[in-house]
Amino acid sequence: MRVCVVGLGKIGLPLAAQYASKGLSVVGCDPDAELVAEVRQGRCPLVGEKGLARSIRKAVAARCLEATTDTAAAVRKAQVVVVIVPVGLTPDRRPDFSRLDEAAAAIARGLRPGALVILETTVPVGTTRGRLGPALEASGLRMGADFRLAYSPERVSVGRIFADLKRYPKIVGGIDEASRDAAAAFYRRALDAKVITVRDAETAEFAKLAETTYRDVNIALANELALYADRRGLDAAEAFAAANSQPYSHLHQPGVGVGGHCIPVNPHLLMDEGFPLHLLAAARQVNDGMAAYGVGKLEEALGGLRGRTVLILGLAYRPNVKEAAGSSTFALARELEARGARALVHDPLFSAREVEAAGLRPAYPLPREVDAMVIQALHDQYRDLDLATFVGCRAVLDGRNALSRSEVEAKGMLYLGIGR
């Protein structure tokens, strides 16, 4: 079986390596010529994905993994085409299909009768049948009759993809039964996880949106309860831990915002259809407002932010992963600058040039003279950080409730948590 993976990003490349590890003949497609060249030479172009470098090296040496920028040529030789290119949001928070449409056009130029095409990208309900299918029919082939088409959402997190591929069941739905069954058979061969088949592609698309939106709403609930705790002088972290001792309570942790490719994006893919999804809209409003709330606490504690220097620790949206998509650091920096502060950003996983390219002020090496600091992502490298070395630092905004209040206050600094 020859498999073509369209999109060699942080998820697509590990998927290609996973399929190759099962003895399948895999070719990965991406327009990034430098990335393709790295893979061809058996080198890993991504940082921080456990086991990926070894998997690529082994697969290329065994001639099970190739890479190319010519998607149409690769598709022409493949029995299975897995599409994993991003669908993000436009500036006005509408679905951005540009990358998917480009990929679909390239696939259509090489699509052969009998091929199975599977979309893994998180998309609005109906995209597989209503958008990708017709785009592929530009090949002159008809979906369902000449080629099979299915949807199976990726359910993995960057940094632990191979572990997630083993533990999370694979959800599969097709535009018809034949497509669904063909996709399920492929995944049973390519993965070790259980395969769950659902009625159709739309159900599978909805399942992914539902599971990630659940998390966004749960985080918003935790954030709103944290706001209440602050007003009442309570410790939300302690209360949540006690509440979660009851097995039906799954309160998440509050914080200064929600980042990543999925959680802050996927609710908008549901809301874009115009249905009155009031709870989802409210959750987005709460979570998007947490950075401003945290900066407001800092402003009040310092008696104003104008002229202050504030250090933000962590550009990544979550600890120990080099990925800044949707990071709360962007909102924190905007809020600080809008109130007259000078916001500096440091992250051991990113270079100063990368921070600057993201439109932020880099802080390399770590500055020791700051007025305050914000913990946005507590990487392992920060855990032994001696706060006492930061001269003049009067307050620490613990944006993830990850520090010890007593240890911060022992350094003579004011501790500010979220709901604490």
Residues with catalytic roles: 262
Which residues, other chains included, contact 231 with Cβ-Cβ below 8 Å and sequence gap of 6+? none
Q: How far apart are CA 315 and CA 374, in angstroms?
A: 11
Tokens describing residue 341: 């502060």
185 touches 139 (CB < 8 A): no
Pairing assessment for the beta strands 148-151 and 170-174 based on DSSP bridges: antiparallel
340 touches 305 (CB < 8 A): yes
Tokens describing residue 4: 């073509």
Strand ranges inside 126-268, DSSP E? 148-151, 170-174, 195-197
The dihedrals phi and psi of 119, each to the nearest 5 degrees, come to -95, 130
Strand ranges inside 120-270, DSSP E? 148-151, 170-174, 195-197
26 touches 97 (CB < 8 A): no
3-class DSSP state for residue 201?
A: helix
Q: How many helices (H) and strands (E) does the chain have?
A: 17, 15
Taken as a whole, the chain contains a residue count of 420
The dihedrals phi and psi of 396, each to the nearest 5 degrees, come to -125, 120
The dihedrals phi and psi of 13, each to the nearest 5 degrees, come to -65, -45
Instruction: Label residue 355 exposed, middle or buried (CB < 10 Å: 0-12, 13-18, 19+).
Output: buried
Q: Longest C-alpha distance within the chain, in Å? A: 72
Closest by CA position to 171, among listed 151, 188, 186, 156: 151
